[in-house]
Structure 1
Amino acid sequence: MNTFISVLIAACAAAFAIFHTYPTPPKSPLLYQWEKEDGGSYFKFQDYDIFFKDVKGSGENKDVLLCLHGFPTSSFDYYLVMPSLRKIFGRIVLFDFLGLGFSDKPRFHTYSIFEQANITETLVEKLGLSKVHILAHDIGDTVTQELLARQ
């Protein structure tokens, strides 16, 4: 039994030594494009960088769509439907919740729905939006419910 534990500890130590020094893999070209193109930018919420995209649509109506993603994903959830959304809406706003996607991921932080709703309100105010349609799923639904409760 002691031999087994010794071998297991040695194997774990070797694996840690090898993989701890591995560099972070590069972003896929598709994710790199998502971050850099179509208005990808960052804004400050408290001391954190929050990634967002403010995309111009080609739709005749001037309505604004705010997309709230799920957990544990990012605004990239909407990548495949963006061409269709751009045809319908005049403007599409997407962002990554704190701790997800390209937004900061603070360690030892207590994340909450209330904070994610505060971030959403801050972005909407920063962009000068007074009325938005919301497309949400998963945790984005819960943030949306909190936003509605604040109305």
Structure 2
Amino acid sequence: MAQAHETDTEKQERHARRHEAHVRATYAAFLHHLCDLSALPPALAECAAVSVLSALERRLMPNGARNLEAQLPRMLVEFLPPPDERPPRPHRFGREEMVATVADDLQMPVEKAEVVIRAVLRAFQDQITEGEADKVASNLPADLQALWRLTQ
């Protein structure tokens, strides 16, 4: 009677399938949480998360952006341009420019965009450690720090 032995290739494929299922489930949970916080439909919540993360990362030093990304769902991070296509230094802007950028990205009024940004930032903070949240805040100007802290 021959025993069925799993080959290394089969083990690797099984591991890859499990990992991919975990990645999808983590992202789905994040998106569901963001929809609960923001009352946005999933497609708009996803666009909002990408827009806010993209804007936030443009304001952070590359190392700070990488540290933040390491704690966020991988599928969300995959929507961003690859690191080698991003500017090497942060773009200096404040709350007004961030809100205007996200409002433009999402084609919504500035007032609504700020509410959406706060929900997205809250969802991000619910995914990351308190230490990482403090590091992000410390790398933002006062007006963006205030927006970041409004969500805590």
Name the TM tier (shorter chain). Answer: 0.3 to 0.5
TM-score after normalising by structure 2: 0.34
**Which structure dedicates a bigger proportion of its chain to strand?**
1
Select the structure with the greater relative contact order (CA < 8 A; seq sep ≥ 6): 2
**Which structure dedicates a bigger proportion of its chain to helix?**
2
TM-score after normalising by structure 1: 0.34
